[in-house]
Structure 1
Amino acid sequence: MATELELKLMVQPEYLKSACTFLDDFCEKNSGEKDDPTGNTRQATLDLMNGYYDTANGLLMENGIALRIRAVNRQYIQTVKTRGSSRVGMHARGEWEWSIPSDTLDLTKLSDVPLPQTLQDMSWSRDLIEVFRTDFQRHVWLIHFQDATIEVVCDEGAVSSAYGQDPICELELELKSGPETALYGFAKHIAQSIPVQVSVVSKAQKGSRLKHRRIEFPEKPEAKAPLLRFAEYWYETWLVYWEAMFYLKDEALLQPIRSSIHQLKQCVPTEMSEQLEALDARYDILFKNHDKSLLPGLAGSLETGIMMLETGHWLNKQIH
C-alpha cells in the first residue's frame, strides 16, 4: 500500500496548451547534465482507459472506495483507492495496485485492503458493474523543486457513463519524495503564469456525480469549534463552489463564492484577510464590467489560483 499525496489544479481547456508549454520550458531551463537523475524531464505521453466499478446503488463510493481497472500499453492494472485523510485542499489517500492478466476484476486481491466493516463480507461483489469510464491522454513531467521530486501530469479527456459526460482538464502534482511544502511551492510557481485553481473533486467523484447531479460540500463545524476549523470549512466551501460554477456553467454561483471568502476573511491573519478582500474586489469589478459571460474572465484570473494556494498552504501548515 502506498499513500498518495496529491495537489490537483483545475485548468480550463483554453489554457491547457499554455500549461504544457510552461512545464516544457521549466524542464528545458532547469535540466541537469545528461543522465543526471536530478534533472527535470518530460516523460512519455500515455493514453489511459479506465473502468470504474461499483454496485448500482453506489455502495463503494458511499464508503469512500474507488475500484478501477486501467488499461495502459496493453497492460491491465487493478487499483483501489480509499478516501483517506482530509488535508485541506490536498488529496491524501491509500492506494493499492496489482497487475492483472485481463480487463476482468480479480477480487481476491482485495484481501490486502482494510475495507470498512460494512464491506468486509464481500456480498456486494456479486453486484458489481462498470458504472463509468475515464478516458484521457496524460502528459507527464518529473520535476525536482525545493529538495522534492514531484510528478506533474496534465490530463485531458472525459469521464462518461449512461448519464452523460464531463470533461477532464486538470494538472495533478504528486509528491514522490521530499518535503510536502514543495507541492505548494511548485503549484504557486505555475499559478504565477497560468490560470489554475485548486480542485478537491476526484475523477471518481466526477463519475458518480453524473448520475446524482449532487455537489458534495464539507461538513460544517459545530458553533463551538476552533476558528481554524471554520477557516478550513470556508476554504473548502470556496473550492467546491468554484468547481461547481464551471461544471454547471452557472455564474450565479459567484455569489456564494464571495460569501465563502467573506466568511474566510474573518478566520485568517490580517495580511491574508486583506489579500482575500482584494480578490473579492477583483470579482466585483469583473461582475460589473462583464458584457455577455462572466465565466471567461473568472477562468483567466491568475489571482484566484494564487490566493487559493496561499490560503491552502497556510492552513496545512497550521493543521499539520
Structure 2
Amino acid sequence: MATELELKLMVHPEYLKSACDFLDEFCEKNVSSSSARQATLDLMNGYYDTADGLLLENGIALRIRAVNQAYIQTVKTRGSSRIGMHARGEWEWSLPSDALDLTLLKEVPLSDALQDMAWSRDLIEVFRTDFKRHVWLIHFEDAVIEAVCDEGEVSSTFGRDSICELELELKSGPETALYSFAKYIATDIPVQVSIVSKAQKGSRLKHRRIEFPKKPNAQASMMSFAEYWYETWLVYWEAMFYLKDEALLQPIRTALQQLKQCVPAQISEQLESLDQRYDAFFKANDESLLSGLAGTLETGIMMLETGQWLNKQLD
C-alpha cells in the first residue's frame, strides 16, 4: 500500500493551456534540478460499485485503468482529513485484461459492511473517466512533486461532467512544498483548491447532490469551525461552477464571513478584502459574473494561504 498525498487545484478550461505553459517554462528554467516534462498519457478508467453505491458509502473507490495497452486495478480509500488536501490509501495491481480480480482485495482493510464480499456479485461499471494527462516531475524546495494537468470528462448513463484540473502529488520531501509550489503557480494562473475527487464527480451524476462537510457542534474548538467554514467555502466554490449557478456566491460569502472570525488577524483582513472583491462582482450582476470569478487570482491565493495555515495547526 502507498499513501497518496496530493493537492488538487481547479483549472477553468480557458486557463488550462496557460497552466501547462507555466509548468513547461518552470522546467526549462530549472533544467539543472532535473525538473522535466514527462510523457503525455491517454487514460481510460472504469469505476465499479453496486447500484446503490455501497463502496462509495464505505469510502472505497474501485477502478480499472487502461493505459498504453496495460491494465491496472486500483483501490483508493477515503483516508484521513488533511484540510484541503487528499491523503488516501492506495493499492495498485497489474492485470492481464480489463476484468476485475477481487481476490486482490484481501490486501485492503475493508470495513465491516464489506467483509463478507457479498456485494461483489452486484458490481457494475457505474461511471467512466476518460482524460488526457499532461505530466511534469518537479523538484522544488527539497521535494519531488508530480504535477499533472488532466482534461477530459466523467460520464455515466446519468450524464457527463468535465474534468479540468491540476494535481500536485508529493513523491518525496517536506509536505510544505506542496503548498509552496501551488502558491507559486497561483500567483500567475487562476487556480482554486478543490476537494472533489473524480470518483465523487462520477457518483454525483446520478443525484446531482453536493457533499458538504459535517458542521461541528456548538462546543467544538475554534479550529474545528475554521476547518468547517474553509471546506464549506471550497465545496460551494466548486458547486457554483458545476451547477453554473452564480447565486451560490452568497453562501460562499457567508462562509468567508464566518471563517475570518476563526483565523489570525492578517488572514482575516485578506479574507475581508476578498469578500469585498466578490461584492463588487455581485453588484455588477451581468452575464460575465462566473467568468470574472474564474479569472481572479486572489481566490486561489487565499484558499492556499488559509489551507496552509490550517494544516500548520495540525502539526
TM-score class, shorter: over 0.9
Deviation at 1:95? 0.1
Q: Which residue does 2:47 correspond to in 1?
A: 52
Deviation at 1:289? 2.4
Q: Which residue does 2:251 correspond to in 1?
A: 256
**More displaced, 281-290 or 204-213?**
281-290
Q: Which residue does 2:162 correspond to in 1?
A: 167
Spell out the pairing of 1:166-185 with structure 2 (5 A cutoff): 166-185=161-180
Deviation at 1:65? 0.1
Deviations 1:189-220 (A, max 9, x none): 00000000000000000000001110000010
Q: Which residue does 1:8 correspond to in 2?
A: 8
CA distance in 2, matches of 1:195, 1:290: 21
Q: Which residue does 1:314 correspond to in 2?
A: 309
Q: Which residue does 1:35 correspond to in 2?
A: none
Spell out the pairing of 1:128-207 with structure 2 (5 A cutoff): 128-207=123-202
CA distance in 1, matches of 2:284, 2:201: 32
Q: Which amino acid aligns with 1:248?
A: L
Deviation at 1:290? 4.3
Q: TM-score, normalised by structure 2?
A: 0.99
Q: Which amino acid aligns with 1:161?
A: S
CA distance in 1, matches of 2:136, 2:252: 32
RMSD, matched Cα: 0.6
Q: Which amino acid aligns with 1:107?
A: L
Deviations 1:61-115 (A, max 9, x none): 0000000000000000000000000000000000000000000000000000000
CA distance in 2, matches of 1:60, 1:307: 34
Pair 1:83-2:64 in alignment: no
Q: Which amino acid aligns with 2:123?
A: L
Q: Which residue does 2:238 correspond to in 1?
A: 243
Deviations 1:154-174 (A, max 9, x none): 000000000000000000000
CA distance in 1, matches of 2:88, 2:213: 17
Pair 1:270-2:265 in alignment: yes
Q: Which amino acid aligns with 2:163?
A: I
Q: Which amino acid aligns with 1:84?
A: G
Q: Structure 2 stretches of 5 or more lacking a match?
A: none
Q: Which residue does 1:218 correspond to in 2?
A: 213
Q: Which amino acid aligns with 1:26?
A: F
Aligned residues: 315
Report the 3-state secondary structure (helix = DSSP H, G, I; strand = E; otherwise coil) of the residue aligned with 1:176.
strand
Q: Which residue does 2:28 correspond to in 1?
A: 28
CA distance in 2, matches of 1:96, 1:192: 35
Q: Which amino acid aligns with 1:52?
A: Y
Q: Structure 1 stretches of 5 or more lacking a match?
A: 33-37
Q: Which residue does 1:291 correspond to in 2?
A: 286
Deviation at 1:293? 2.9
Q: Which amino acid aligns with 2:254?
A: S
Percent identity (aligned): 80
Q: Which residue does 1:114 correspond to in 2?
A: 109
Report the 3-state secondary structure (helix = DSSP H, G, I; strand = E; otherwise coil) of the residue aligned with 1:169.
strand
Greater than 4 Å deviation, 4+ residue runs = none
Report the 3-state secondary structure (helix = DSSP H, G, I; strand = E; otherwise coil) of the residue aligned with 2:31.
coil
